[in-house]
Structure 1
Amino acid sequence: MTQQTQTRYRIGGMDCAACAGKIETAVRRIPGVSGASASATAGTLRVDHIDVPLGTIEQALRPLGYTVAPADAAPVAHHDHDHDHDPDHDHDHDHAGHDHGDHNHAPADNHFDLGTGPWWQTAKARLALACGLALLAAYSLGLVAPVLGHWAFLGALLVGLIPIARRALAGAFAGTPFSIETLMTIAAVGAVIIGATEEAATVVLLFLVGELLEGVAASRARASIQGLSALVPKTALLVTGDTTREVPATSLTIGAIVMVRPGDRIPADGQIVTGSSAIDESPVTGESLPVTRQPGDAVFAGTINTSAVLTLRVTAAAADNTIARIVRLVEEAQESKAPTARFIDRFSAWYTPGVLVVGALVAILPPLLLGQAWSEWVYKGLAILLIGCPCALVISTPAAIAAALSAGARRGLLLKGGAVLERLRDITTVALDKTGTLTLGKPLVTDILATTGAEADVLRLAAALETGSSHPLALAILSRAKADGVTIPAATDAAAIPGKGVAGQVAGQSILLLSPAAAAERIALPPDFAARLDGFAAAGKSVSVLLADDQLIGALALRDEPRPDARAGLDALRALGLKTIMLTGDNARTAQAIGADLGLEVRAGLLPADKQAIVRELQSQGQIVAKVGDGINDAPALAAADIGIAMGGGTDVALETADAAILHGRLADIAGMIGLSQAAMANIWQNIAVALGLKAVFLVTTILGITGLWPAILADTGATVLVTLNAMRLLGWRPR
C-alpha cells in the first residue's frame, strides 16, 4: 500500500484569502490528493497526497495565475520574463516585484531567479498601467472624435478585462465559479450591454489598482517576518588553528570556532569561548538594552557584538539557528487558521453566491413586478455585484493574525498559529513553574554571616574549597567571589565529605564547609547564630557553615532567587484580572518562601502528573488555564492546559512542546502576549466592521440611486486596502 505524505510548497502570486481558497479547491480536485491547505499570509501550500508530483500541481495552478515551488527552495522574487508554457498566458495575478520572502518561481529548468524588483516593475503593475493609459487615450479620443468614444472605451476595457475573464474561466473549470473575477466579469460585460462602457472601463482599472495595492500590502506583511532572515550575516570569520578566514555563514558546522569583532553581527547560535562583551539582542528578543555575555554564555545568530572581540563555538547549523526556527515557526503558525478565520471562510463560501442572487433579484424584480426601467435596475444589480465582492471581509482576519504573529516574533513572543493567538485573550488563570520560570534557575549567594573578621574572608575561604567543583552551590559561591573581586587562595587536599560538606587545607588551616547539622556535630553553635540559620532555612535557603581549625568563622546562605522582573510580571498579570498560581516539584518550605515573596498561591512537592491533574482541576472549575514552564518536565501540564507557554532561550524543546514560547524568558512577556492577543482581536473586529459597514452603506446608496458602478468598486477596493493597512498597524505593536 502506497503511503500518504504531506508536502509543503511555496506559492507565487497568492496574496489574499480568496486566492488561497481557489488554490485549495483546484489542488483538491487532483487525483491522489486527499487534502490541501493554502495560506495567503505565509505564501505556502500544504498538500496531503499519494505520489502526486510537483508538475501535476503546477499544471493545476498555472492557468489560475499562480506558480509553485518546493518549500525548501530559496525564497526569491517572482519572475517577470517569458516561460516555456503558453506564451499567451498573462501573469497579471503574479505579484512579481513584491518583496516576496515566501514566493518562489520554478521555470522548467528549476533555476530560481535570485533578482528582486520594486512593485512598479511587476506584471500586475504593468497591466494596471497599460489599462490606465488605454483609458486616458480613450478619454482623449472621445474628446477629439466623440463618435469613436464608445469603441475607444471598449478597447480600454478589454485591456484589463481579458486577463480577468480568463482567470474567471480558469477558476470555474478548477471548481471555483463564484470568484471575485467572475463578479467583475459579469459586472463589466453587463455594463457594456446597458451602454455604460466608459464606467465599466473605469471599474476595471480601479479593480486592477486595488489588486496591486492589496499585493503590496500583503508582501509587506510577509517581508516583516522574512526580514529576520536578513539579520544573519552572509559570512563568518572561521578560526582554524592560528589562522582566521572568511567563509559563508551557511557553511558553519556545529563545533566550529568563529571570531566576532566589535560591531559585527553574530553569524550563528553559539557559546562564548573567550571574551566578554555587551550583546545587542534587540533584533531577536526585543530587549532594549545590550546584555553582557561572558565565556560559557549562549548567544543568538543575528544579534550584535558591541564592545569586544569574541570567539564562539557554533552550537546550531544555519538551518536550525534561532532566527531560522523563528521564521519557520511563524510561517507554520500563519498556516494555522484561527476559529474566526475558519468561520469567515465558511461564511464567504455562501456569501458570494448569495451576492449573485441578490444582484439578480435587484435587477429583475422591480422591472417585472413594478414596471420600473430595466436599464436602471440592471445597472443597480451590477453595482451590487461589485459591492458584494468578499475580498475585504475574507482578508480581514488572516491579515491581522499574520501581522500580529510577525510583531510578536520580532519581540521574542512566538505563537503557534491564529487559534493560539485568539485563545490567549480568554485566559483566566496562569499556572507557573518555579525553577527557571519564576526564578533564575540557579542558586545565588544571598547572605554572608561573619562571626570573626570580614564577610570577604568567609567568601574567600569557601571559594577556595569549592574551586574546581561543578556543583550548583559551589558555582554560586565562586560566582559571588568573582563578582565581589575576592582573591581566591589555593586549597590543598580538598575533598567532599559525603552528606556533610567539603574539607581542605588553606594556608595551613583546616577548613570545613558543612551543613548546619554536620557543623553542630563538631562544635556548639551560638544560640543567636543558630537562630539566624533557622531563619535562613525558613526562607527556603540552603545554608553552609564555615569552620577554620574547628573555630566558627561564619556561614553562607544560598537560594534560587526570583527573576528580577518576576514581581512586575506577576503584577502585570493581576492587572489584567488573572489569577496566578505556582506549581512546583520543589519542597514546600522553599516554594512557600518564594511564593510569599512574590504574593502568589503555591502548590509544592508535585510530580509532573500532579501538575497535570491540578491543571485539569482548574479547568473543571471553569478556568481557562495558561501553563508556563520550561517545556521539559512540565510537558504533561503544558499539553493539558488551554495554552502552554514555554519560557527560555529558544530551545528546540521549548519551541516544540508548547503552544507558545517566550524567547527572552521575561515574565512580563506573558502579559505582553495576552495584550497582543487582545490587540489582534480588536483589530480583526475593526476590520470586519469596516468591510461589512462600507458594503451596507453602498448597498443602500446604490438601491437609492445615489451611487453607481465605479463608487461600488472603489468602496470594495478601498475597504480591502483599509482593512489591510489597519492590520499592518499591528506590525508596530509593542507591549505596554
Structure 2
Amino acid sequence: MAEFKLSGLSCAHCAQEMESEMQKLKYGKDAKVLYNSGKMVISDKMVMADVEKILQQEGVSVVKPDGEHDHNHDHGDRKLIIQIAISTILFFVAFLTEKNIPVWGAFSIYFVAAALSGYQTFFKGLKNLFRLKFNIDTLMTVALVGAFTIGDWREGTVVAILFGINEYLEGFGMRQARKSMAALLKVVPKTANILKDGVTVEVPINELQLGDIVLIKAGDKVPSDAMIVEGKSSVNEAAITGESMPVEKQIGDALFGGSVNNEGTLKAQITAIYADSSLAKILHLVEEAQETKTPTELFIDKFAKYYTPIIMLFAVLVTIVPPLFFNGVWSYWVYEGLAVLIIGCPCALILSSPVAIVSGITRSAKNGVLIKGGVFLEQLAKTKQIAFDKTGTLTEGKPVVAREVVYDDANFFQISGMMEQSSGHPIAAAVMVYVTKHQTTFPEMTDLTTIGGKGLRGTFEGKQYFLGNEQQIPDASWTAQSKQDVDKLKNEGYTVVVTASETAVLGIFGIRDALRKESKQLVSQLHEEGMTNIIMLTGDHEKTAEKVAKEIGIDSYYAGLLPEDKLTKIQQLHDQNGSIAMVGDGINDSPALATADLGIAMGKGTDSAIEVADIVLMQDHLGKLPITVKIAKRVRAVVGFNIAFALGLKIIALLLAVMGYLTLWMAIMADMGATIIVTILGLSILFRSKEEKAIK
C-alpha cells in the first residue's frame, strides 16, 4: 500500500464518495481517503491516472514529495474568500440598482455574482447529474438552476454566496484540527551530529545506526532514543510526556528522541533507529488514531447514505403534491422543493463527530496521553468502573520505611546501617535511605553473613547482631512488648525488619511499598468524573491491600491475585457491572489490560506499554488520567449535541417547507449555521484548561 498527502480535501462527504469510486477501480478494494488527516492510502498496483481523475472531480490533488514541507491551503482559501467577497459586492450592487437598470442588466450582475461563488459546485453538480449521482453538489446545482429559472435571481445569488461561505467553513474546522495535529510532528528532529573518529558529521536521522555516538548541544533535539555516555544536563521531555518540568539526566540515563537538551553538551549512544524510537511510534499511532471510526461515526456514515436520496424524494413530493392535489401554485411549490434540496446537504451532520474527536485526541497527545483512536475516547467517556494494579501504579513499586519502633536509640540506627550498607536488596536500600537521616557514616561489621530467606548476621566489637524477619532473631532477644509490636505492624500491612543483639531487640522497621503522592487525589477526581466503582487488584496479602485501599479511598479491592487471577477478576467484574477499564504498567499486567474493555498503560514510552494498551500515559504517574476522562466526556457531549443540533435544524426547516414557509436563504442559513456551530464546538475542545496546564 502507498500513502499520499492530499491538497484541497475539505469535504467529509466528498471524501467518502471518492473512496467509494476508488474502491470500484482495479486493485482498489482497500483504497481509503482519510479525511481527518488529509491522506489517501491505495494499492501500489492501482493506475495513478485513474485515481487522480477521481480526485480532480472534487478539486483534490496529490501533494508531490518535494512539496510536502510546510504544505498548507492558504492560497486556495484566499482565492475562495476573494471570490466570495467580489460576489457579495456584486450582489449589493445589483440589489441597490435593479430598479434603475434594465432587467437584463440586473440578471447579468446577479448571474456573475452567483457564478463567481458557485461555478465549481455547478460544474461538479452538472457532471453528477449526467452520472445520476446525487450528492451536495448535485443538490445545489439543481437548486441554483431552479432559482434562476423561476426568476428568483436574488435568492439564487444569496444561496450561491452562502454556499461558498459554507464550503469554506466546512473545510476550516478540519484544517485547524489538522494544523494542531501537525504541530505535534514538528518535534521530529531532521538531522543528527554523529561523532566519527573525533569528527562531527551531520546526517539525516534516517541514517542513524544502533550504537552510533551522537553529540547533542544545548538547545538541540535528541535525534532518537539514546543513552548518555558523557555529560549531564536537564532535558525537556514535554514532546513525549507532556510534562513541562525539565528532567535531570546523567551518564547511563535514557533519552527520548524529540526531547530537548536544555544546557551543557551530551554524548549519547543510539539505542533505537528513528523508525523504532518511542517518538516515531507515538506519532504514527496518533496519526492512525485520527482515522479509527467510532460506532457513532459509523452510524452517521450509514445514515448519510440514505439521507440524501430520501431528501430528494421529499423535495419532489413537496413540489408536486400541493399543486396536483391541493390546487397549489406550481411556481410557489417548486420554490419550496428547491429549498428542501438545500436542506439535503449532510455536511454538518458528517462534521459533527470528526472535528471533535481529532481535537480530543490532539489535546490528549499534547498532555502526553496517547489515545489510539476515537473509539477508545468514546469508550472512556462511557466507562463507570476502573481497576488499578497496585504495585507500580498506585504505588511507587519500591519499598520505603513507613514506621519505626525504637527500643535502643544509641545502637538501632548505627547497627542497622552497618549491616545493610553493603547489601543490594531493595529493602536494604529503603533501610539505608531512612537510617542516613540519623547517621551518615557507619563502621564496617565483621563476619557479615547472609542467611537465605531470613536476613543478616554479623559481629561488631565482639558482639553478634541480627537483622531480618522474625525467624532471624534469637528467642532470647524477644520480649512480650517487641513480639506484640511486630504482630501489630504485620496486621497493619507492613513488612517488618527487626534489628537485634544476642540479648535484646534494638528496634523494628515497618516497610511498605510507597504510595504515589497523587493516588489519593486521583481516586477523588475520578469519583468526581463519574467513576462509580474504583477497584484495586494486587498480589499482596489482605492486610496490606486493605490499608492501601482505605488510605486512598478505593471502593473495592481484591488481594492475593496472580497475573492470571487478575484476568479472571476483570472478566467477572465485566460480567457483573458492565464495561471496565484496567490501569497497569503495561508489562506485568498485559493479560488483564488486553482483557478489559479499555486498557490504560502507564509506561513512559516503553514498547510494551505502547503495544498492549488502548490508552498510554506517557508520564510515570497517573496525574493526567482524570483530565483525560474529562476530555473524553467533553468530546462525547459535543458530538451528541452536534448531531442533535444538525438534525434538529433540518427537521425544523423541513416542517417549514411542508407548511410552505421555507425560503432558499433560510435553508442555506440553517445548513451554514449548523456547520459553524459544530465546527466551533469541535475546535473548542483543543483549548486546555488552567487546571490542565497546572498539572506537572
Both proteins in one fold, TM over 0.5? yes
Change (3 A) 1:483 1:355: farther
Is 1:613 the equivalent of 2:608? no
Which of 501, 504, 512 does residue 455 from structure 2 map onto? 501
Residue from 163, 170, 188 that aligns with 1:214 = 170
Given that residues 570 and 668 in structure 1 are in contact (C-alpha distance below 8 angstroms), is that contact kept between their aligned partners in structure 2?
no
- CA deviation digits over 1:584-637, x for unaligned, max 9? 233444434433433433322323332222222222224321122222332222
Give yes or no for the alignment of 1:558 onto 2:511.
yes
2:472 partner letter: A
Aligned position for 2:397? 441
Q: Which amino acid aligns with 1:453?
A: A
1:148 and 2:101 aligned: no
Gaps of 5+ in 1: 1-5, 69-104
For residue 408 of structure 1, report the CA deviation from its aligned partner.
Answer: 1.6
1:184-199 aligned within 5 A:
184-199=140-155
Q: 1:517 to 1:137 in 2, by over 3 A?
A: closer
1:63 to 57, 60, 70: 57
Q: How does 1:234-313 map to 2 (within 5 A)?
A: 234=190, 252-258=208-214, 266-271=222-227, 279-287=235-243, 289-290=245-246, 296-304=252-260, 312-313=268-269
The AA in structure 2 aligned to 1:182 is: T
- 2:580 corresponds in structure 1 to 625
Paired residues for 1:634-649 under 5 Å: 634-649=589-604
Cα distance, 1:186 vs. partner? 1.0
How big is the shift at 1:173? 8.1
Kept in 2: contact 1:252–1:317 (CA 8 A): yes
How far off is 1:543 after superposition? 3.7
- Show the counterpart of 2:121: 164
Percent sequence identity over aligned pairs: 35
Query: 2:362 pairs with 394, 399, 406, which one?
Result: 406
Q: Which amino acid aligns with 2:515?
A: P
Does residue 571 (structure 1) correspond to residue 524 (structure 2)? The answer is: yes
Q: Which residue of 1 aligns with 2:19?
A: 24
Corresponding residue number in structure 2 for 1:603 = 558
RCO higher in structure (CA 8 A, sep ≥6):
2
Kept after mapping to 1: 8 A contact 2:292/2:374: yes
Q: Given the alignment, which residue of 366, 373, 387 partners 2:322?
A: 366
Distance 1:336 1:484, change over 3 A: farther
1:424 deviates by 1.9
- Per-residue CA distance 1:451-479 (angstroms, 9 max, x = gap): 3437653564245322xx3x433444555
Once the two structures are TM-superposed, the CA of residue 258 in structure 1 deviates from its matched residue by 4.9
Matched, 1:423 2:376: no
| RMSD, aligned CA | 3.7
SS at match of 1:41: coil
Aligned partner (choices 166, 169, 182) of residue 226 of structure 1: 182
- Please report the TM-score for the alignment, with normalisation by the length of structure 2: 0.86
Give yes or no for contact 1:333–1:417 (8 Å, CA) kept in 2: yes
Partner SS, residue 161 of structure 2: helix
2:337 is matched with 381
Partner of 1:12: 7
- For 2:657 and 2:439, how far apart are their aligned partners in 1? 80
2:38 maps to what in 1? Answer: 43
Matched AA of 1:500: K
Distance 1:169 1:479, change over 3 A: farther
Superposed CA deviations along residues 17-41 of structure 1, whole A, max 9, x for unmatched, are 3123112211221123334444322
Q: CA deviation at 1:730?
A: 0.7
CA distance, structure 2, for counterparts of residue 261 and residue 534 of structure 1: 56
Match of 1:358, SS state, is helix
Closer/same/farther in 2, CA of residues 60 and 548 from structure 1, 3 Å limit? farther
Partner of 1:353: 309
Evaluate the alpha carbon distance shift between residue 488 and residue 36 of structure 1 in structure 2; reply closer, same or farther with a 3 A threshold: farther
Q: Which runs of 5+ in 2 are unaligned?
A: none
Indicate the SS of the match to 2:352: helix
Q: Report the secondary structure of 1:33's partner residue.
A: coil
CA distance change for structure 1 residues 698 and 314 in 2, over 3 Å: closer, same or farther?
A: same
- 1:116-148 per-position Cα deviation (integer Å, ceiling 9, x unaligned): 4562x22x5314423542563576478485342
Query: Aligned pair in 2 of structure 1 residues 632, 693: CA closer, same or farther (>3 Å)?
Result: same
SS in 2 for 1:129: helix
Contact 1:428 1:625 (8 Å CA) reproduced: yes
Q: Which residue among 33, 46, 61 is the counterpart of 1:52?
A: 46
In structure 1, what is the equivalent of residue 477 of structure 2? 524
Contact 1:509–1:548 (8 Å) recurs in 2:
no
Q: Given the alignment of the two structures, is residue 319 of structure 1 paired with residue 275 of structure 2, yes or no? A: yes
Q: Is contact 1:458-1:555 (8 Å) kept?
A: no
Q: Is the 8 A contact 1:232 1:268 kept in 2?
A: no
Aligned match for 2:82, one of 105, 129, 135: 129
Distance 2:107 2:443 in 1: 99
Where does residue 673 of structure 1 map in the other structure?
A: 628
Q: CA deviation at 1:723?
A: 0.6
Q: Deviations over 1:365-398 (max 9, x none)?
A: 2222233322222122112211231111111012
Mean alpha-carbon deviation: is it higher for 55-64 or for 577-586?
55-64
1:214-265 per-residue CA deviation (whole Å, 9 max, x = no partner) reads 2222111012222112234545565668776766555554444556566665
Question: Aligned pairs, how many?
Answer: 684
Contact 2:600 2:616 in 1 (8 A): yes
Q: CA 1:273–1:497 in structure 2 vs 1: closer, same or farther (change >3 Å)?
A: farther
Task: Give the aligned partner of residue 344 of structure 1.
Answer: 300
**Partner Cα separation in structure 1 for residue 297 and residue 641 of structure 2:** 14
| Mapped contact 2:80–2:168 kept (Cα < 8 A) | no
Q: CA-to-partner distance for each residue in 1:177-201, whole Å, 9 max, x for gaps?
A: 2211111111111112112234323
Question: Does the C-alpha gap of structure 1 residues 448 and 277 become closer, same or farther in structure 2, counting only changes over 3 Å?
Answer: farther
Deviation of 1:276 (Å): 6.1
Equivalent residue of 2:601, what SS? Answer: strand
Decide whether aligned partners of structure 1 residues 263 and 528 sit closer, same or farther in structure 2, where only a CA change above 3 A counts: farther
CA contact (8 A) 1:22 1:171 kept: no
